[in-house]
A and B are shown apart, each in its own frame.
Chain A
Amino acid sequence: MTSTEIARVRPARTPRRSGPRSTLTRSSGLGLGIAMIWFSALVLIPLAAVVVTAIDGGWETFWATITNGQTMAAIKLTVFTAAGVTVVNVVMGPLIAWVLVRDRFWGKSVLEVMIDIPFALPTIVAGLVLLSLYGNADSPLGIDIANERPAVFLAFLFVTLPFVVRMVQPVLEELELDVEEAAASLGASRFTTFRRIILPSLAPAIAAGAALSFARGVSEYGSLVLLSGNLPFKTEVTSVRILSSIENDNVAAAAAVATVLLAISLTVIVLLDLIQRRVAARG
């Protein structure tokens, strides 16, 4: 994801006059209609079907399904691991972005490419890749965490690597050095400059990246298949739980758990939208 520069990705808000108005002509309206039909058929109706199927059996069935011991263990593992990984990314992401923007050294462009690899690499290959170094009897490091909980953490860490870095990087690039120099000349220490000047301008980007990385972690599946062994109560994540329900032909249970994941993704999307509005309003 080389341009997750959210601040620029979305159209700027145009001043709203009284009520929603439309500038659609007949042909652009037709285009929008066709696009909406496709988007509905592909995304909206299927996702609605998940929610409808989940609540079809009534609230009690829904609640019983997601509070089932094994399911609850999977949800907890997924959410806590994703949260932990997000914390690591909030620290490492800005650090890596800083090195990429402010530092100059031989081989920097290689690091630049490495950031994007987890995004482009097929998730199943990502799992295999991690397995070859960290989950193998003949691992060169002598580490074997396959089928253990740290494997889930590691897989999440790998697939969420680009998000915070790629959000923070463009903001850091546009930051004026003058302001920092002015602060330094007025006697601010490097730490004070960082805390009072740099951090506040990076905060929205870090938050947006953190939200995306949390959402990605929670929904991860492919990289875990080979790496985590999918042991119930131990390394089974929510996506795997949903898949085994599907394979057992228990679509209602699958839909109930999927609805929980959808709620999390939706929260993240609303959060992202709010962060963007704040950034747009400030800038």
Chain B
Amino acid sequence: MTYVLRIVATAYLFFLVAWPVSLVVTHTFDDGFASISSLLQDPDTVVALQLSAYVAVFSVVINTLFGVGISMLLVRQEFPGKRVLNAMLDIPLSVSPIVVGLALVLVYGGRNGWLGPTLAGWGFDVIFSTPGIIMATTFVALPLMIREIVPVLEEIGIEQEQAAQSLGANAMQRFWRITLPSIKWGIVYGVVLTLARSLGEFGAVKVVSGNVLGQTRTATLVVEEKYLNFDQQGAYATAFLLAMVSVACIVIVAIIRPKNHS
């Protein structure tokens, strides 16, 4: 029985994940490093990769600040509407990326958005521009950090901080010396997951970015573009680069997590 289950699980994962993913790697290196190096010589692709990295960094920073703040409020404070807020923070996990894009366009669109024209009047374009891409990416990755930090905060309790407070530590000292070190690993996992999710966002970015070559085209949009233009090698190579980063993120988490668990 044990063996049957083991074989079924392994075979399922092999056919669904391992084999397909490995094919992308072999396709990329069909003719050595040629496709990767020609990719990195294409200025538009390089700009797209840079934009993806830039947007991901923004999204990680924003979601880390927001995530740490809101998690501390949720765990340690009581306020009316807390349960509703708690549930709503999960919305981005189950909303279609296309709906995310549409929602942002409806509010921040330069022509007909609720706030877009006003912001455009101040010289601040959101949609079809980098801020829109950052907002879309931040939206889809929003719950990840919170889901990592909240359980850790609940586990550590507040006794240490109360002790520190009774010894005269102020709020800043308590946060930097006690809370932050104890949620450090939660934040690290959150950052890694947020980074992977942000680099890979496609649908929402497609709607808000306008997909302008060399300006608002991100790496994931390049994959689609190249594939549809029959540049399969280029598509596989770009996909390989993206896949490598996300697999690296997963492996990092897998390596550091168990140690912390025990």
Contacts and interface: CB of A to CB of B under 8 A. Distances in A.
Interface of A: 1-5, 8-14, 20-24, 27-28, 31-32, 34-36, 38-39, 42-47, 49-50, 53, 92, 95-96, 98-100, 103, 105, 109, 111-125, 128-130, 132-134, 140, 157-158, 161, 190, 212, 215-216, 218-222, 225-226, 238-240, 242-243, 246, 251, 254-255, 258, 261-262, 265-266, 268-270, 272-273
B107 interface: yes
Given A22-B77, A140-B23, 14 more contacts: A2-B257, A39-B89, A42-B135, A46-B100, A103-B5, A114-B13, A115-B13, A121-B247, A122-B199, A122-B239, A212-B94, A219-B96, A242-B98, A251-B106
A35 B69 CA distance: 8
Given A53-B106, A116-B250, A251-B106, A105 B91 contact: no
Given A46-B103, A212-B94, A105 B6 contact: yes
B230 to A, nearest CB: 12
9 contacts: A3-B189, A20-B81, A32-B79, A46-B100, A46-B106, A49-B114, A50-B103, A258-B99, A273-B86
A184 to B, nearest CB: 14
Shortest 4 CB-CB contacts between residues of A and residues of B: A122-B200, A219-B96, A46-B103, A215-B94
A239 B98 contact: yes
A42 B151 contact: no
Given A116-B253, A123-B202, A129-B23, A22 B97 contact: no
Interface in B72-100: 73-75, 77-81, 83, 85-100
A31 B20 contact: no
A187 B68 CA distance: 51
Interface in B91-148: 91-108, 112, 114, 135, 138-139, 142, 144, 147-148
Given A24-B77, A221-B97, A132 B102 contact: no
Size class of B's contact patch?
35 or more
Nearest to B97: A221
Given A23-B77, A219-B99, A269-B91, A120 B200 contact: yes
B86 A212 contact: no
Contacts of A222: 97, 202-203, 220
A130 B20 contact: yes
A2 B99 contact: no
